[in-house]
Amino acid sequence: MSLLLVLLACALTCLGQVAQKYAVEQWRIAPSAWPAKLRTPWLWLALFALGLGLLVWLLVLQRLDVGVAYPMLSLNFVLITLAARWLFDEPIDRQHGVGVLLVMLGVALLGQHA
Amino acid sequence: MNRQRGIFFALGSVLLVSAAQLGMRWSMTRLPALEHWSTAPLSMTALAVVIAAIGAYGLSMLCWLLALRDVPLGRAYSLLSLSYALVYLLAGSLPWFHESLNLSKSLGVALVMLGVLVINLRTVPVAVSHPRSDP
């Protein structure tokens, strides 16, 4: 249950970042004045996801040691890499792949103590 | 580009986010579980600390954005990985947290930091996205 909450917090944070990226892309494609920029639904989805992510994170900290839980947040680097690869077609080089594997190994080790 | 200023803000962001995480943990363990919020008594101190911690977290985001004016994203993330070690070591050694340090956890934290460094110290700067990826 606690580990699922960690995953949920990471997924929401990742969703928030992807939505921010879409918001910025939209502003780039169709430049507009600030009031119109603020009406971008992606921006509101980003804020909602990040806010909800923070609330879920507070629930995680009620259950898990922060010394174990906080480094597990680095799972975000893994999720963002997947999002960059599959949603934005960004190339992932070999060194990036090795880094992602190291993060996953570290998180798996920390997960044993959750 | 003013490198020194960038590193100053990046390290400020590291300290603030570490303090925020420790503050959130300290206060959340002193607040009732979600389902009892309407009935159980709320500690005003814990409530104040959790609000201050969320404020520190917001300030760390601001420092982060200021740091990114002067430091490339990869370097900034590399510095940010210091906060994993800082939070782990402080939570394991400060008496109020009752957390422990051991070999397997230390190895986990070290692997995570190494992974973040390997991803972010590549010579080809690939900016995945600018906002920071941690709550």
Cβ distance A90 to B122 less than 8 Å, yes or no, reads no
Number of domains in chain B: 1
pTM of the model: 0.89
Is A40 in CB contact (< 8 Å) with chain B? no
pLDDT at B134 over 70: no
Q: Least CA distance to B99: which residue of chain A? A: A65
Reported as a pLDDT band with limits 50, 70 and 90, residue B1 is low
Question: CA-CA distance, A50 to B23, in Å (whole number)?
Answer: 19
Is A5 in CB contact (< 8 Å) with chain B? no
Nearest to A62 among B29, B54, B81 (CB): B29
Q: What is the predicted pLDDT for the residue at A60?
A: 96
Residue B131 falls within a domain, yes or no? no
Is A82 in CB contact (< 8 Å) with chain B? no
Residue B135 falls within a domain, yes or no? no
Cβ distance B99 to A67 less than 8 Å, yes or no, reads yes
Q: What is the predicted pLDDT for the residue at B135?
A: 66
Residue B56 falls within a domain, yes or no? yes
Whether ipTM > 0.85 holds is: yes
Q: What is the CA radius of gyration of chain B?
A: 17
Q: What is the mean pLDDT of chain A?
A: 92
Reported as a pLDDT band with limits 50, 70 and 90, residue B122 is confident
Question: CA-CA distance, B78 to A61, in Å (whole number)?
Answer: 24
pLDDT per residue as tens digits for the range A20-68 = 888 888 888 888 888 888 888 999 999 999 999 999 999 999 999 999 9
Residue B25 falls within a domain, yes or no? yes
Residue percentage of chain A with pLDDT more than 90: 73
pLDDT per residue as tens digits for the range B14-62 = 999 999 999 999 999 999 988 888 888 889 999 999 999 999 999 999 9
Residue B125 falls within a domain, yes or no? no
Question: CA-CA distance, B35 to B45, in Å (whole number)?
Answer: 20
Cβ distance A62 to B31 less than 8 Å, yes or no, reads yes
Residue B108 falls within a domain, yes or no? yes
> Cβ contacts of residue B89 below 8 Å, gap of 6+?
A67, B101
Q: What is the predicted pLDDT for the residue at B127?
A: 53
DSSP code for A88: S
pLDDT per residue as tens digits for the range B55-108 = 999 999 999 989 988 988 888 899 999 999 999 999 999 999 999 999 999 999
Closest CA to B133 of A83, A3, A26: A83
Q: Which domain holds residue B64?
A: 3-120
Contact A69, A61 (CB under 8 A): yes
Residue B132 falls within a domain, yes or no? no
